[in-house]
Amino acid sequence: MEPHTVRCESDRHLAVQLLLDERVSKMRDKLREQGKMGTRRSLLAKALRLSSKVAPNLHEIKNHCVEVLAAEIEIELYVFASPSFNAGCTPVEDERVFILISSSMLEAFSTDELQFVLGHELGHHIYGHHEVPLPFILQAAKHLPAAFVLQASAWQRYAEISADRAGMLCCGGQAPAARSLFKLSSGLREAPGAAQIKAFVEQAYDLYEESQAAHSVERIQHHDFLSSHPFSPVRLRAARSFDSFMKGKQDLPAVEREVLSYMALMEPSYLDEDSPGAEAMRRLLFAAGAVVAAANGEIAKEEIEALKSLLGLARVPDTLKPELLRQHLAERIEKVKELVVPSRRAQLIRDLALIARADGHVDDEEVAEMRSLAAELEVDPTLVETVLQAPVEVD
């Protein structure tokens, strides 16, 4: 099976969009000008390099994954001291990549589980995920458009699905992937037997149903919309779907449709959805966004750009009239309350927070305005502080 043919379609599509973004292009140029980052020197100083003599079994696993994924690149393996299960793959430097594995993972994961882990990490390389230098962009930028942050976070989640597929090609199917995912999420060290694996899968379905039933408030409180990784039930459901493709039980387009439905649990929808309720929410976001942005006496250019990035350039003029829009708030709030269930209204508070902090800081007046709007929408006002504290970070 050709690895590049099974890359998640949404990963591929969003990556193309991000690579065309001016912020991404400028950072890529800057990193090229800076040259190598000194990754190898840092690893040699802080971690243990695992040569074929030190870790022959791990090198056999690596060689297997390289062959399966046709990864034509030199690879150095390192282990670092950590009680947590973790692994990573660096961008290419000096025509090689470095794969890092925590000491606890190396001790606790079986051969086929490590095949999944190394295959997953190599998947990030073969699918070019490091070509989009999001960590550097997020670290360098004082503020970013809300839509860019949401798009970047969504892409990272789909990139993880692609990497999981690469890992499954290396380990042979769902069972090792399922064990690995649950070890990662639970911290359990012992390899589960067949009965335990079955129980893990059933638990994943239970967790998925709970997640599916969770209100928007709960998902926002857990920062799902900014998470760089799908939560475990979603990854396991996606792995199960891909396993059915590997076994010839369904085609890849059907798998992609299932993945989209799973990932929808973590993504906003009213900004693009075609329904009366979604349109009412967008109309309220326009008015409330202007009112919140002007709460401190002036509207920053970055806040207008954030509103445009959420609603689209055609929907937002360059000059806003917050006092005029305030007169329409009550009517638009009532329309949203009439058409939209309370749990979904929380998404408006999330997006108002993205607008408020677009200029790099949030004033007390803006917080007070958002709390007032939350109360009128019959959403817990404490959600305002929750979303303002959400880390805008993508791994």
pLDDT digits (tens, 9 = 90+) for 60-74: 999 999 999 999 899
pLDDT of residue 224: 46
Task: Establish how many alpha carbons lie within 13 A of residue 394's alpha carbon, considering only the half-sphere containing its beta carbon.
Answer: 28
Which of 325, 149, 137, 146 is closest to 228 using CA atoms?
149
391 or 232, greater pLDDT: 232
In a domain, 138, yes or no: yes
Q: Inform me whether the pLDDT recorded for 170 exceeds 90.
A: yes
Tens digits of residue pLDDT in 332-389: 999 999 998 776 788 899 889 989 988 888 999 999 999 999 999 998 888 888 778 7
Tens digits of residue pLDDT in 38-50: 899 999 999 999 9
> Are 249 and 300 members of one domain?
no
> Are 116 and 226 members of one domain?
yes
Tens digits of residue pLDDT in 302-343: 999 989 988 887 788 888 899 999 999 999 999 999 998 776
Is the alpha carbon torsion for 226, 232, 238, 243 positive or negative?
positive
Mean pLDDT of 154-182: 94
Contact at 8 Å (CB) between 43 and 100? yes
pLDDT of residue 53: 95
- Which residue range is the domain that position 125 belongs to? 3-266
> Are 84 and 145 members of one domain?
yes
> Are 218 and 239 members of one domain?
yes
> Are 147 and 25 members of one domain?
yes
Mean pLDDT for the chain? 86
96 or 224, greater pLDDT: 96
5 or 186, greater pLDDT: 5
pLDDT of residue 141: 64
| Domain-ending residue, one of 204, 235, 266 | 266
| Domain-ending residue, one of 266, 288, 319 | 266
In a domain, 333, yes or no: yes
- Check which CATH number belongs to the domain holding 303 and give it: 1.10.3680
Q: How close are the terminal C-alpha atoms of the chain, in Å? A: 29
Q: How far apart are CA 10 and CA 162, in angstroms?
A: 9
pLDDT of residue 51: 96
pLDDT of residue 347: 83
Q: How far apart are CA 165 and CA 167, in angstroms?
A: 5
> Are 125 and 208 members of one domain?
yes
pLDDT of residue 205: 63
Contact at 8 Å (CB) between 225 and 266? yes
Q: How far apart are CA 354 and CA 387, in angstroms?
A: 8
> Are 203 and 296 members of one domain?
no
Looking at the structure of the chain, the number of domains it has is 2
Tens digits of residue pLDDT in 172-216: 999 999 889 888 877 878 766 777 666 766 765 665 566 555 544
Q: How far apart are CA 392 and CA 384, in angstroms?
A: 15
Tens digits of residue pLDDT in 100-153: 999 999 999 999 999 999 999 999 999 999 999 988 887 776 667 767 877 888
In a domain, 271, yes or no: no
pLDDT of residue 383: 82
> Are 252 and 313 members of one domain?
no
In a domain, 376, yes or no: yes
CA dist 377 to 96, 137, 326, 353, 365, Å? 54, 35, 15, 15, 18
Three-class SS state of 258: helix
> Are 85 and 180 members of one domain?
yes
The top-scoring range by mean pLDDT among 81-90, 192-201, 267-276 is: 81-90
- Element (DSSP H or E) covering residue 48: strand 48-49
> Are 117 and 177 members of one domain?
yes
In a domain, 394, yes or no: no
> Are 338 and 283 members of one domain?
yes
pLDDT of residue 105: 96
Q: How far apart are CA 50 and CA 200, in angstroms?
A: 32
In a domain, 155, yes or no: yes
In a domain, 143, yes or no: yes
| Domain-ending residue, one of 266, 289, 317 | 266
**pTM metric for this prediction:** 0.71
> Are 74 and 199 members of one domain?
yes
pLDDT of residue 331: 97
Q: Inform me whether the pLDDT recorded for 393 exceeds 70.
A: no
Above pLDDT 90, what percent of the chain?
54
pLDDT of residue 192: 66
pLDDT of residue 200: 65
Task: Count the neighbouring beta carbons within 10 Å of the beta carbon of residue 182.
Answer: 21
DSSP state of 229: S
In a domain, 249, yes or no: yes
pLDDT of residue 266: 64
Q: Inform me whether the pLDDT recorded for 223 exceeds 50.
A: no
